[in-house]
Structure 1
Amino acid sequence: MANTLSIKRTYWVVLMVFTLILLKTDPANGSENFSNGQQIMVYPQNPMYWQYKGEPVLLLGGSVQDNLFQIEDLEEHLDLLVSVGGNYVRSTMSSRDPGNAKPFEKKNGLFDLNEPGVEYWTRFQTFLDLTLERDIIVQVEIWATYDFYWGERGWMQNPFNPKLNSTYTASESSLPEVIDYPAQKQNNPFFRTVPELDNNQVVLTYQHKFVDQLMSITLNYPNVLYCIDNETKARPEWGRYWSAYIRDIAEQAGKKIYVTEMWDNWDPTDGLVPGAVTQGGHLGGWYKENTNPELSKWAKPSNTINDPKSYQFIDISNNNAQRGEVHYNTALFIRNLVKFSDDSRPVNNVKIYGGMLNTLGQDTEYWTGFHKDGEERFWRNIFAGHASVRFHRPNFGLGLNHVAQYHIHSMRMLTDSIDIFNMIPANHLLGKREENEAFCIAVDDKEFAIYFTGKGDIFLNIPPGEYEVNWLQVRSSQWGQPYNLQMPAQLKTPSDDQWVVMIRHL
């Protein structure tokens, strides 16, 4: 693999020069952005969180689409996110939706994998420019899994399909022209090309070209995190190869990047938390029928957690199919596992599921749960000590609708008012607590915050003394009037809505 990387580095340098001319990027500015701790990086004082521009930062987001660089009203959408306190978006490199630009140019009706798609890459760079201007962190997913599987919007319009390009044939590439199975059932050979698996150098050459093009742009931006795949069931060798490949490119450019992998596994604890479900566990149906147990054997977040060399942060987005108390328990389990390991790292959630509208526009149950499930997951992850949360796109999440805006705004209002980067989960302080009723974080017996999923009435068992108490109504993003209270004491929500209360020792 070392010789392959060396050869590809030479290609990458040539390609980078071409890209900088074509897209008019300025690598000098990129280098400056990466200096003096200005880039997104692990927060040295608490490696469970991120730092940006020299300051710790909590990543909060929501967006209407996953391949955000492809949407039309991009600037307005980013401005809306920032206006409510958001600073975090997802960017799959997907091109399967109607109107999307493709990553390669077409000639005579067929894609040429030697020719980068100018419109596609220009859109992507414009997107990175706009996010950089707004201090928005972008989590890029290199391989958009569902672009490579069944359906007219998947493999049947993908430039890597040998039927659709002039660069290689099906026999030369060992890739199928038709895929009639989902990603959960069988791996596309596209995801086995690396030397440790099929060593398919024909296709790997053009996969390198795609990734080289991507890196020639992203390395000019200090606000980018990297994820190899969207919810993958590919073998671990695949992700490890690409992590090494892009980290090598970054190292040759004198830059450090942060990489993760996202696994298609709803239970990141591998059965160690009672009640945690696997695919289809809520409603059964399609997922249960189409999930291949053999693929699931290696699609485990432990591959990421136990490999800090390859993966410098964790993403457990698919855990956000869990519900209620079990969701919190799995999130907390992973946080504790990572925090108390030899390699503490941030735990991200770039997708918060929750919400599926029926044909009448009504909230309806799906494997993602109801809308309120998504709202609660957003808060439980932060109260479990995670570093990022983002509402997934509709209809599988709240996106950036009015409800999501309130939650992002309220979360930012709260975390700007407390010492979030030193607080720890502290549900043990909550007496008379019912399941999924309330969740607590605290620091040094001086500052506390409690999130109530609805109507709540708990006993806060903290050291005696006088404390200032202030309630924040989540769905209106409004603080109440602060008042003083002798602790320990009973705390009851002002109404049946979702609330957060902040308590500070005087």
Structure 2
Amino acid sequence: MTATTMKRSTKRSHKTVKGQNLPRLNFTSRSCHNNIRIYQNWKKLPYSSFILPLCFLFLITSCNNKIESKEEQLPTGIQPWSENPSYWEYQGKPVLLLGASDNDNLFQLAHLKSHLDSLALVGGNYIRNTMSDRDETDEKAFYKNEKGKYDLEQWNPKYWQRFENLLQLAKERDIIVQIEIWDRFDHAREQWQTDPYNPKNNVNYTYEQASLDSLYPDHPGQNKQPFFFTPPILQDNKVLLKYQEAFVEKLLSISLQYNNVLYCLDNETSGVEEWASYWATFLRDKSGDTNINMTEMWDHWDLTSAEHKRTLDHPEKYDFIDISQNSHKIEEENWNNAQYVFAYITERPRPVNSVKIYGSDAHQPWLSRGISTKHAVSTFIRNILGGFASSRFHRPPHGLGLSNWSIQSIKTMRKIEEKVKLWDLKPMMENLSNREENEAFLSGKSGESYLLYFPEGGEVKLDLSSYPQQFELNWISLEEANWGKSILLDGGDKRSIAPPVDNGSLALIQVK
């Protein structure tokens, strides 16, 4: 394994001529005046005779950029949509993020390219990537010497190349990557025994110096690992924090070169608020002038808990919200808890993501709680009707990954998107009557479009009494992802609607 020396800077190195650093002209983020200043400095250099003509050409180009249209100067990276901050925009256009993938730390996947190709082929544009290295075939972030010890002062290039490959491949396919920097499962129980941060595995510090123990046998949700208490306001563990900071800086030195990245500090953390606040500030500071979008993912399944207020109450700190843990709740409670979040942030709307949707018939321990394949598909559809900016099926066996049901679900929503944009619709459950719990869910735009979801069978009434026009109803089955025959529906009254199948279908009802 070849090592690279650890660097504490997020800046890209400049090319050198005769031992002198050349400043880099920037035609997107820096001003024309700044490029003029660079040009003037270059004139003083000994090699100016051959480089000045080229420099002058670049200068004219950069100045001409200043008079381009406003549209051409708009940021093109992933960011809350300027017209509706509850959703994302990318490349200057609003996007609904839908995904399914087969691994948490996707950058370590051997067949990454083909996996991303498959996702893009069915309409997926959203993946999750933890920076984890706990699986047997994973590369670690740090150099390992001939004695089997890690050196936290040196990087393992293979790990970081895999990371950059993921970002580049995703970028080429217009796929958004939601990164999770820290994962508590990497640093507890059996995973701690192979962790580079474990003092027995590295050459950089002892247990005493780093205030660490040889065993952390409890579930990481107990939050007993000092690894997550290093900031000054907590245990002020300078020995360990030094290497944590260097890791994050190295990550940013790569990720800041890509504009298809969202940042999540932790995977389903039960950590204290000060830990998250420290890293939120650190990322913001180290990102400099580069705009990043960041959140924290709390572990509590109940979205009304005080734990989630740490994100909900702080839009100045967290640019979006991830409530993946809500998918541990089933049926009506799953819907109601998510709607609680949307109501809570009404005055300061932000994108609400779900980078993990749990549920698979293959994971037996959760079936008794109803966290099944059917639950995963239902949650995916409810999320979208409910106003989520993103939804992604979790990896197997805890989720469906990129499998038949997840593929059909994504394809179904993309076909619906061809007829109506989901961000134009709002939940309107009050327009349904004769409805039993979890029987049907409705989103729409009054008098124009309605999207009605039946997880199973049933029959409900849709209130069209204020709109005497004629409507066209189209059914689409989740199992087949194909449109059925259209039906004409008279407005001016409450109309009974029943699905043609009992295993999941949607009705798109639009005014003629």
Instruction: Specify the alignment match of 1:179 in structure 2.
Output: 216
Q: Relative to 1, partners in 2 of residues 1:46 and 1:177: Cα closer, same or farther, differing over 3 Å?
A: same
Deviates more, 1:123-132 or 1:302-311: 302-311
SS of 2:200's equivalent in the other structure is coil
| Structure 1 position 235, deviation (Å) | 0.5
Q: Cα 1:148–1:356, aligned 2, differ >3 Å: closer, same or farther?
A: farther
Query: Are residues 29 and 204 of structure 1, via their aligned partners in 2, closer, same or farther at CA, if it must alter by over 3 Å?
Result: farther
Amino acid at match of 2:338: A
Q: Which amino acid aligns with 1:330?
A: N
Alignment match of 2:258 (pick from 213, 216, 221): 221
Amino acid at match of 2:13: V
Q: Distance in 1 between matches of 2:450 and 2:202?
A: 58
Task: Say whether 1:497 aligns with 2:497.
Answer: no
1:254-306 C-alpha deviation (Å, 9 max, x unpaired)? 21101000011101112xxxxxxxxxxxxxxxxxxxxxxxxxxx7x1110111
8 Å CA contact 1:353, 1:368 repeated in 2? no
Aligned to 1:259: 294
**Aligned counterparts of 2:115 and 2:124: Cα–Cα separation in 1:** 11
Identity of aligned residues (%): 39
Contact 2:357 2:380 in 1 (8 A): yes
After superposition, what is the alpha-carbon deviation per residue over 1:81-106, rounded to whole angstroms, capped at 9, x for unaligned? 11111100000000001100001011
Query: In the alignment, what sits opposite 1:309?
Result: 316
Q: CA–CA distance in 2 between the matches of 1:124 and 1:36?
A: 28
State yes or no: 1:71 paired with 2:68: no
Say which SS state the counterpart of residue 44 (structure 1) adopts.
coil
Code of the residue aligned with 2:479 in structure 1: it is R
Deviation at residue 461 of structure 1 after TM alignment: 0.4
Matched, 1:355 2:360: yes
2:176 is the alignment partner of 1:137: yes
The letter for the 2-side match of 1:497 is N
- For residues 234-253 of structure 1, give each alpha carbon's deviation from its aligned partner in whole angstroms, at most 9, with x where no partner exists: 10111111111111111x2x
RMSD: 2.2
Question: 1:407 is paired with a residue of what secondary structure?
Answer: helix
Structure of higher RCO (CA pairs closer than 8 Å, 6+ residues apart) = 1
Tell me the residue number matched to 1:470: 474
CA contact (8 A) 2:385 2:422 kept: no
Query: Which of 206, 209, 218 is residue 169 of structure 1 equivalent to?
Result: 206
AA partner of residue 17 (structure 1): S
Q: Is the 8 A contact 1:448 1:504 kept in 2?
A: yes
1:182-216 alpha-carbon deviations (Å, 9 max, x no partner): 11223210100011111111111100110000000
* Offset, 1:30: 9.7
Task: Specify the alignment match of 1:282 in structure 2.
Answer: none
CA deviation map 1:2-52 (0-9, x unaligned): xxxxxxxx93247x539xxxxxxx9979969x9622100001111111000
Structure 1: which 5+ runs fail to align? Answer: 1-9, 19-25, 271-297
CA offsets 1:215-247 (integer angstroms, 9 cap, x no match): 000000000000000000110111111111111
Letter in 2 for 1:263: W
SS of the counterpart of 1:480? strand
Map 1:200-219 to 2 at 5 A: 200-219=237-256
Q: Distance in 1 between matches of 2:369 and 2:207?
A: 36
Q: What is the distance in 2 between the residues matched to 1:29 and 1:474?
A: 46
2:142 is aligned, of 104, 109, 130, to: 104
Q: Quote the Cα distance in structure 1 between the aligned partners of 2:224 and 2:351.
A: 29
Cα deviation for residue 113 of structure 1 reads 0.6
- Kindly indicate whether the alpha-carbon contact (under 8 Å) linking 2:443 and 2:452 is maintained by their aligned counterparts in 1: yes
Return the offset for 1:428: 0.9
Q: Which residue of 2 aligns with 1:400?
A: 402
* TM-score between the two structures when normalised by the length of structure 2: 0.85
Q: 1:94 to 1:35 in 2, by over 3 A?
A: farther
The one-letter amino acid paired with 1:112 is D
Note the C-alpha offset of 1:497: 2.5
2: CA distance, partners of 1:236 / 1:366: 33
Q: Report the 3-state secondary structure (helix = DSSP H, G, I; strand = E; otherwise coil) of the residue aligned with 2:438.
A: coil
Matched to 1:429, the amino acid is N
Residue 67 of structure 2 is matched in structure 1 by: none
Give the alignment partner of residue 429 of structure 2, picking from 422, 427, 430.
427
Is the counterpart of residue 482 in structure 1 residue 479 in structure 2?
no
Per-residue CA deviation, residues 467-496 of structure 1 (Å, 9 max, x unaligned), is 111111111010012232102311111122
> Counterpart of 1:382 in structure 2: which amino acid?
I
The Cα shift of 1:412 comes to 1.6
Kept in 2: contact 1:218–1:224 (CA 8 A) = yes
Contact 1:30/1:221 (CA < 8 Å) preserved in 2?
Answer: no
Distance 2:460 2:365 in 1: 30
Counterpart selection for 2:13 from 17, 29, 34: 17
- Residues 416 and 236 of structure 1: CA distance in aligned 2, closer, same or farther (over 3 Å): farther
TM-score where L is the length of structure 1: 0.86
Contact in 2 for aligned 1:67/1:90 (Cα 8 Å): yes
Alpha carbons 1:51, 1:57 under 8 Å: kept: yes
Distance of 1:212 and 1:258 partners within structure 2: 16
- How far apart in 1 are the matches of 2:482 and 2:134? 40
Name the structure 1 match of 2:55: none
- Report 1:225-304 matches (<5 A): 225-250=262-287, 252=288, 254-270=289-305, 300-304=307-311
Closer, same or farther in 2 for the Cα pair 1:91/1:364, shift >3 Å? closer
Change (3 A) 1:28 1:88: farther
Q: Secondary structure at the match of 2:436?
A: coil
Cα separation, 2, equivalents of 1:27 and 1:190: 41
SS of residue paired to 2:152: strand
Q: CA 1:227–1:27 in structure 2 vs 1: closer, same or farther (change >3 Å)?
A: farther
Please, which runs of 5 or more residues in structure 2 have no aligned partner?
1-6, 15-23, 31-71
Residue aligning to 1:334: 341
The runs of at least 4 aligned residues of structure 1 exceeding 3 Å deviation read 26-32
**Cα pair distance change 1:403/1:30, threshold 3 Å:** farther
Instruction: Give the corresponding residue for 2:447.
Output: 445
